[in-house]
Amino acid sequence: EILNIIENYTMRRYLANMPSNYLNKLFPILHREIDQNNYIDSLRRALVGKNYPSDNFIREVMRGRSLYEAKAQPRLVFLLESINRHLSQDTGGYTVLDDSATIEHIFPQTPSDDWKKALSQDEIDDILRDYLHTLGNLTLVTREWNTSMSNSAYAIKKQKLANHALLMNSAYFNRSDAPKVWDKSAIIARTDALTSILLDIWGSMGEVTTKSGDYTGKKPYALKFLGDDYQLDSWKSVLIKMTELGLEFNAFELMREHLPRILSPNERSRSIQLPNGWWLYVSMNANNIMDFCQKIADLIGLSDDDWEVLYE
């Protein structure tokens, strides 16, 4: 059970795309918080208090997370195989591929004329930029199947996957309400469906402690961050400083991916320019700013004890 708890914690952080270097600092000192007389429960409570991602946070991240990278493909195969096994639970067994698993992009990396006729150029551009390598557009097949499907039209791929041996393919594409068009909405819907299965496999171990509350009418005067104090005089300055600290942690790519509402490469109204040239939207109320600061802290890998906004 101890291994299951640790697996749950590390896998949910992986799904949430949280930095793994935080774990190198966490595990050597984790024993200090463990009650030897109640080891399992105290371990679970301790990890839930250590920047443990909520279901909603994981769902939000997975919608836009790029999973297809050469060095990360074994992990991606493991995720997809875990989904397939989970779908087959209580059946007495599950189907495996008769050859090495390869990753198939349902919307192809190089769209053919059939795809260009089926979707608008704007839709294609959106998918190629934001959704091509997300979970909903990826599945497992053998190398032979991967080659045969290549960049075929969606109708052909759908028929093949509906008759595929893996339940994760056939169960989804053989439904009466299976998508008739494979666009970004279809990709997002499948991402959501597969993420729900992953959250069944690695379910939440408890409520996540966050700096939730109503900050309306509060006036901030300082940000405490990893032992340093920054004197501030507005919620806007809190957001700016927290974002700049995120940049110092080399977390910009994560922030850009997960905080598109407030970060833009182009100048826009009610924004300020960051040291790296990007623009940060700052016209928000105190509660929204604290929500975004919490997300930045999560992406960096901070616990609640590592940062605090002081206000009056």
Query: CA-to-CA distance for 123 and 137, rounded, in angstroms?
Result: 14
| 145 pLDDT more than 60 | yes
> Does 303 have pLDDT greater than 90?
no
Confidence of residue 276 (pLDDT cuts 50, 70, 90): very high
Question: Rounded distance, CA 192 to CA 136, Å?
Answer: 8
Fill in the DSSP letter of residue 193: H
pLDDT band at 159 (very low <50, low <70, confident <90, very high): very high
Q: What proportion of the chain, given as a percentage, has pLDDT over 90? A: 52
Measured at the CA of 277, the angle between CA 272 and CA 279, to 5 degrees, comes to 35
Strand-strand pairing, 279-281 and 271-273: antiparallel
15-48 pLDDT tens trace: 988 877 777 777 888 878 788 888 898 888 888 8
Contact by Cβ (8 Å): 68, 197: no
Task: List Cβ neighbours of 24 (8 Å cut-off, separation of 6 or more).
Answer: none
Cα distance between residue 266 and residue 277, in whole Å: 9
The model scores a pTM over 0.85 = no
**b/e map 209-241, b = 16+ CB within 10 Å:** ebeeeebeebebebbebeeeebebeebbbbbbb
Residue with tokens 């979707």: 119
For residue range 69-116, list pLDDT tens digits in order: 867 788 999 999 999 999 988 776 777 777 788 899 999 999 999 999
Q: What is the pLDDT of residues 45-66, one digit of tens each?
A: 888 877 788 888 899 889 988 9
Cα–Cα distance for residue pair 231/221, rounded to 1 Å: 6
